[in-house]
Amino acid sequence: GWRFTGDVEAIPEGMPVAPFIPLVRVTGNPIDTHIAETMVLSSLNTGIAYSTKARRIVHSAGDIPVMDFSFRRMMAGVAGTTEIVRALMIGGFVGTSHTQASRLLGVPQMGTHAHSWVMFFGSDKEAFEIYGLYYPENYCALLDTYDTLGKGVEADIEVTKKLLWKKLGLDSEPWYSPEEWRIILQSSKDVLGDIVYYARNDSGDQEYFTREVWRKFEEAGIESVKKIIATNDLDEYTLHQIVNGDSKVHAAGVGTK
């Protein structure tokens, strides 16, 4: 039968504040205020910590958009993760792989397929082809399940060309020269619009692998419709190195850290 009888004062969310300004003030009898303190501090401190971390990461990433990939690897209950996703979005992330949080919060739902998807089919090419059938407008291939440069990127280029061939309704098979592909893509901008086919690298030296993957896209003549997502233990420090190095990264998924 206990009911809280104290008073709670708080600034509106989103209001800029100066250092050392109280965000929330709880007044009342000692029992009420001590019971409320745990919930209030847990909620505020957790949200502030995650929003601050997200802001640091987004700041280091510069112009590279950052997606939340965290709750494939870390759990804080069920409802708790939704609150944390909200904090990450406030900190500047552009979307989340947490489907329930996306549904409840109305934030963009983003992600890619897993390594297990490729392993299920047994080859990069088959896995990418099936994924492309289901997501022809949002195709994203995870390149590093077996061999990033030897298998993954080669299969991705082949499937990307087939998707383009089908979307553009080209007459012949999609085995044009790189220069022919550039001409076709340049002359088909009205049909393609802003469509981009992504490739994801989730291991190794990001600077080396993304640069080599991009070089292969250029050699194939399809670099105008391809972008690269980097994942795998990224934080503000690794993203700072990526941004200021010689990598070819256009988006990032941050999770474990």
Distant-in-sequence, close-in-space partners of 104: CB < 8 Å, separation ≥ 6? 82
Q: CA 114, CA 121: separation in Å to the nearest integer?
A: 12
Report the amino acid identity of residue 158: E
Helix (H, G, I), strand (E, B) or coil at 230: strand
Distant-in-sequence, close-in-space partners of 117: CB < 8 Å, separation ≥ 6? 127, 131, 142
Residue 77, pLDDT score: 59
Residue 134 has pLDDT above 90, yes or no: yes
% of the chain with per-residue pLDDT over 70: 95
Residue 78, pLDDT score: 57
pLDDT band at 193 (very low <50, low <70, confident <90, very high): confident
Q: How high does pLDDT run on average in the chain?
A: 91
Tally of residues, the chain: 257
C-alpha radius of gyration, the chain, whole number: 23
Residue of 155, 182, 250, 154 lying closest to 211 (CA atoms): 250
Helix (H, G, I), strand (E, B) or coil at 11: coil
Six token digits for residue 223: 């670099």
Angstrom CA distances, 170 to 65, 74, 125, 135, stand at 33, 45, 21, 20
Contact 88, 70 (CB under 8 A): yes
Residue 116, pLDDT score: 94
Distant-in-sequence, close-in-space partners of 3: CB < 8 Å, separation ≥ 6? none
Residue 120, pLDDT score: 95
Task: Give the mean model confidence (pLDDT) for residues 219-229.
Answer: 95
Contact 156, 125 (CB under 8 A): no
